[in-house]
Structure 1
Amino acid sequence: MFKYTQIFRGTAFSSKSSKEIQVLKDYLFCINADGMIEKVVAPEDADYQELLNRYRGKENFHQLAEGQYFLPGFVDLHVHAPQWAQSGTALDIPLSDWLNTYTFPIESKFSDLNFAKEVYEDLVSTLLANGTTTSLYFATVHKEASLLLAEICANKGQRGLVGKVVMDDPEQTPEFYRDADIQTALADTEEFIIAVKELAKTTKQGVYPVVTPRFIPSCTDGALKGLGELADKYDTHIQSHCSESDWAHGYVKERFNKNDAFALHDFGLLGDKAVMAHCNFLDDEDVELFAETGTAISHCPISNAYFANSVIPVAHFHSKGVDIGLGSDVSGGFSPSLFDNARQAVMSSRMLEDGVNPSLPAEKRGVANSRITINEAFYLATAGGGESLSLPIGRLQENYAWDVQIIDTKIASAKLPIFDANENLTDIFQKIMYLVRPENILEVWVQGNKVHNRTV
């Protein structure tokens, strides 16, 4: 009689802290029927050989081949699911033009459930193939299509946190794409929450409803107040955009005579299950409010390079005790890969620290102590995302979900430059983070279930 549903053996990389990588060489990971890591066993532990003898050769024993490694599954904290249909287009125009000319017309098409199904199925499969095991999604204003996205996540095995978007202010939203009125927006949101909670009862990896005001400029005060009350009533996650750009930050300040963070807090939209995207223009009082309430930040480095008018000071915010994870922001960010976003997070932070205006002297050009390392970017994509969502995900340790991507460094079409059989494992980790492409992701597992297998 075997105690564990599955045992995996191989070398893994996980975050020990926000700055330090833990290398688990030739470890055993013992997975229970709930898809949780029940036991992690090092080669020097007393029961290592006994477990090997008992399970090796059995169907539920998984041994990595040479050149293969475990990484935790990535946690993407900001995906506009309908915008997958426009990814890679119109990124060179101003945000307001981008929204009104491309984004709102695309999102309005999701009243057609056949179109929604085609796009959402492709997106969820694509994210899984890129190693993303958990996604925090903005859907659209359409209740039925938003529920369909949650169902697709459930069926494909991804842990999906899905929000029916609310945008009801006629002054800031187009007539062809908005909630009919406050009452409709709130009623649809409540029905959506109830339906997703029901769906979750039959889903091993979990699906979650998310209260989702698009951002303050698109919502009336009544809608924002009602959404805060619904989040409290049903204890849901919350997501929105916060202080993303000069325009958005300035608009809220003019409307409420306060910054986004405090306005959102007044409506009951901050808390330890709240994730706010971007947050480039938070001041220290805003950051302290985030830390105090447990509100997390979704850092979207590729998208920020196009639309945010600044580089977010990740290192500074982290030093203040704010949870931060990584977001692709499809399609303001062109890439569905958190590998790409982790790389950009490092590059952007170095540009902030070193400065970009060559006409200034070097000592005045940048913001000191702003750079982050690839270790920190990896943390944002994994453990930081899990902490931001208050879920036991993003680490390869006991009592966490078995959400992993198996990286193959030897695949012929995307072989990593590892020529020394005894190369330092931390160096191999860095090569993985900087060089892996989707072809290198051999398998993806969520909550102990295999959900993606690379076609060779």
Structure 2
Amino acid sequence: MTEFAHVFHGTAFTSRSPKEVEVLKDHLFCVNEDGMIEKVIGPEHREYQELLDTYQHTSSYQKLADGQYFLPGFIDLHVHAPQWAQAGTALDIPLYDWLNTYTFPIEAKFEDIGFAKKVYNDVVETLLANGTTTALYFATVHKEASLQLAKLCAEKGQRGLVGKVVMDNPDQTEAFYRDHDTKTALAETEEFILAVRELAKTTKQGVYPVVTPRFIPSCTNEALQGLGELAAKYDTHIQSHCSESDWEHGYVKERFGKHDAFALSDFGLLSEKSVMAHCNFLSDEDADLFAEKGTAVCHCPISNAYFANSVIPIARLQSRGVEIGLGSDISGGFSPSLFDNVKQAVVSSRMLEDGVDSKLPAIERGVPESRITVDEAFYFATAGGGESLSLPIGRLAENYVWDAQMIDTTVETSKLPLYDPEEKLHDIFQKIVYLARPENIREVWVQGERVLDRGTGSSSHKKNIEKE
């Protein structure tokens, strides 16, 4: 029999499809030294008892206690890491004013490596504590500080995809916070790509460089073209903002005479490894282009409620074959928890379908077929995120990475209302998604390594790697 590094025993919830969560009751999850799930074995399988007999008295075996469940680790596709320093601030002013009055001055401070390390250390730890095992990060224009973020992800065990931001357009960016010039921006981006790729050689869970034009308004044509060429040269991930608000969407139409999607495509910035945040104003033609290119939309439901000037028709985009993931958009979104963003994604979709103007007749009030279910929103936060990044993450299934969060519904300070021993497991799943708080997340695993342990009460012979 194959020797496994870990055998986890318990009930898990994972996405079977974009619309359906699968309940794996009392299963064994067999994880190899590389952190990959080699086997998922149910009680009815002929190997089940043999595996139990082999492992249950070894240090490799961990069985969940009553009231504990596994979920896949969350995948946050849009985090402005430096903005953790301003989270919860000034969310009541327009996007353009918010950026120039608060965000850009904060980000400019990251030229100070000591300040950058302090904030980045906190944001990585905070996301891990909220069950986020993979994060797609915007850093700042500062190459060394951006590299520091990648190093912290590597050290703390989070799978980090990090972008040194490019902002070289003097017409839309202030002198105190932009790249020195286009040539410098492109040269430092290439140096950053090479440095992160070198770091990745010694990082089990992976860290990845990401080509990151902040958004079209902040970049010159030359920078956008050069970044597209660098992404192609090094086969990197790409991230940016796309058709987020009335102001940004209108700016691009005026500058190029086309929507963001087609402008970005012209510069080589839409690919299977591209993730575009927000995308509230995508037309059907834009969505079809995304589907054709394999480019994903990162839905940021909390942030959109403050800055996007609309509710994104996420169900329509999904129906047209666009890959969808979920993002917190710290700090346009105030919460570092994808649990909160899953809930808001469902709420926003319901409001879009039902409408918000009570003066209108019900038949005219909303947009039909706009709602999504909690199963779908959970998919966006897990499997959809993995597909968006073209990585084998986001599912508790064979040939996927063991990225997992262990949820304890019995924690004294945040017990979930579970009283019926015959309650359906899918109903328990829904209660977890809607009611769980960070203290319910007792363990977090990334690539088969435990990176958070709050003390679980589970049956395990494995020593704690890290105590919070």
Q: TM-score, normalised by structure 2?
A: 0.97
Partner of 2:154: 154
How is 1:363-402 mapped onto 2 (pairs within 5 angstroms)? 363-402=363-402
1:269 aligns with 2:269: yes
SS in 2 for 1:22: strand
Partner of 2:359: 359
How is 1:99-248 mapped onto 2 (pairs within 5 angstroms)? 99-248=99-248
SS in 1 for 2:442: strand
Partner of 1:333: 333
- Tell me how far apart the structure 1 counterparts of residues 451 and 249 of structure 2 sit (CA, whole Å): 40
Partner of 1:349: 349
SS in 2 for 1:16: strand
Cα deviation for residue 437 of structure 1 reads 0.3
- Tell me how far apart the structure 1 counterparts of residues 455 and 118 of structure 2 sit (CA, whole Å): 21
Cα deviation for residue 2 of structure 1 reads 5.9
Whichever residue aligns with residue 328 of structure 1, its letter is S
SS in 1 for 2:71: strand
Cα deviation for residue 453 of structure 1 reads 1.2
Q: How large is the RMSD of aligned CA atoms in angstroms?
A: 0.8
Stretches of structure 2 that go unaligned for 5 or more consecutive residues are 457-468
- Tell me how far apart the structure 2 counterparts of residues 62 and 297 of structure 1 sit (CA, whole Å): 37
Partner of 2:60: 60
1:47 aligns with 2:47: yes
1:12 aligns with 2:12: yes
Cα deviation for residue 57 of structure 1 reads 1.7
Cα deviation for residue 455 of structure 1 reads 5.7
Cα deviation for residue 275 of structure 1 reads 0.2
- Tell me how far apart the structure 1 counterparts of residues 6 and 306 of structure 2 sit (CA, whole Å): 44
String of CA shifts for 1:325-378, please: whole Å, max 9, x gaps. 000000000000000000000000000000001111110000000000000000
1:293 aligns with 2:293: yes
- Tell me how far apart the structure 1 counterparts of residues 436 and 95 of structure 2 sit (CA, whole Å): 31
SS in 2 for 1:77: strand
- Tell me how far apart the structure 1 counterparts of residues 290 and 267 of structure 2 sit (CA, whole Å): 14
Partner of 1:323: 323
SS in 1 for 2:17: coil
Off by >3 Å, runs of 4+ in structure 1: none
Partner of 1:278: 278
Cα deviation for residue 97 of structure 1 reads 1.1
SS in 1 for 2:450: strand
Q: TM-score, normalised by structure 1?
A: 0.99
Partner of 1:3: 3
Whichever residue aligns with residue 245 of structure 1, its letter is S
- Tell me how far apart the structure 2 counterparts of residues 182 and 204 of structure 1 sit (CA, whole Å): 34
- Tell me how far apart the structure 2 counterparts of residues 340 and 127 of structure 1 sit (CA, whole Å): 13
SS in 2 for 1:401: coil
- Tell me how far apart the structure 1 counterparts of residues 6 and 12 of structure 2 sit (CA, whole Å): 16
Percentage identity across aligned positions? 74
Cα deviation for residue 52 of structure 1 reads 0.1
Cα deviation for residue 423 of structure 1 reads 1.0
Partner of 1:32: 32
String of CA shifts for 1:103-137, please: whole Å, max 9, x gaps. 00100000001100110011000000000000000
Whichever residue aligns with residue 313 of structure 1, its letter is P
Cα deviation for residue 166 of structure 1 reads 0.1
SS in 1 for 2:174: coil
- Tell me how far apart the structure 2 counterparts of residues 220 and 19 of structure 1 sit (CA, whole Å): 40
Cα deviation for residue 48 of structure 1 reads 0.3
String of CA shifts for 1:253-283, please: whole Å, max 9, x gaps. 1000010000000000001000000000000
SS in 2 for 1:410: coil
Whichever residue aligns with residue 213 of structure 2, its letter is P
- Tell me how far apart the structure 2 counterparts of residues 2 and 304 of structure 1 sit (CA, whole Å): 48
String of CA shifts for 1:66-93, please: whole Å, max 9, x gaps. 0000000000000000000000010001
Cα deviation for residue 432 of structure 1 reads 0.3
Whichever residue aligns with residue 20 of structure 1, its letter is E
Partner of 2:439: 439
String of CA shifts for 1:115-161, please: whole Å, max 9, x gaps. 00110011000000000000000000000000000000000000000
SS in 2 for 1:208: strand
- Tell me how far apart the structure 2 counterparts of residues 110 and 121 of structure 1 sit (CA, whole Å): 13
Cα deviation for residue 96 of structure 1 reads 1.1
String of CA shifts for 1:180-226, please: whole Å, max 9, x gaps. 10000000000000000000010000000000000000000000000
- Tell me how far apart the structure 1 counterparts of residues 2 and 251 of structure 2 sit (CA, whole Å): 61
- Tell me how far apart the structure 2 counterparts of residues 135 and 430 of structure 1 sit (CA, whole Å): 24
SS in 2 for 1:423: coil
- Tell me how far apart the structure 2 counterparts of residues 182 and 396 of structure 1 sit (CA, whole Å): 43
Cα deviation for residue 311 of structure 1 reads 0.4
Cα deviation for residue 60 of structure 1 reads 1.0
1:414 aligns with 2:407: no
- Tell me how far apart the structure 2 counterparts of residues 68 and 245 of structure 1 sit (CA, whole Å): 41
- Tell me how far apart the structure 2 counterparts of residues 454 and 213 of structure 1 sit (CA, whole Å): 38
- Tell me how far apart the structure 2 counterparts of residues 187 and 68 of structure 1 sit (CA, whole Å): 49
- Tell me how far apart the structure 2 counterparts of residues 248 and 2 of structure 1 sit (CA, whole Å): 55
- Tell me how far apart the structure 2 counterparts of residues 241 and 454 of structure 1 sit (CA, whole Å): 36
- Tell me how far apart the structure 2 counterparts of residues 191 and 455 of structure 1 sit (CA, whole Å): 41
- Tell me how far apart the structure 2 counterparts of residues 313 and 175 of structure 1 sit (CA, whole Å): 37
- Tell me how far apart the structure 1 counterparts of residues 102 and 451 of structure 2 sit (CA, whole Å): 32
Whichever residue aligns with residue 324 of structure 1, its letter is I
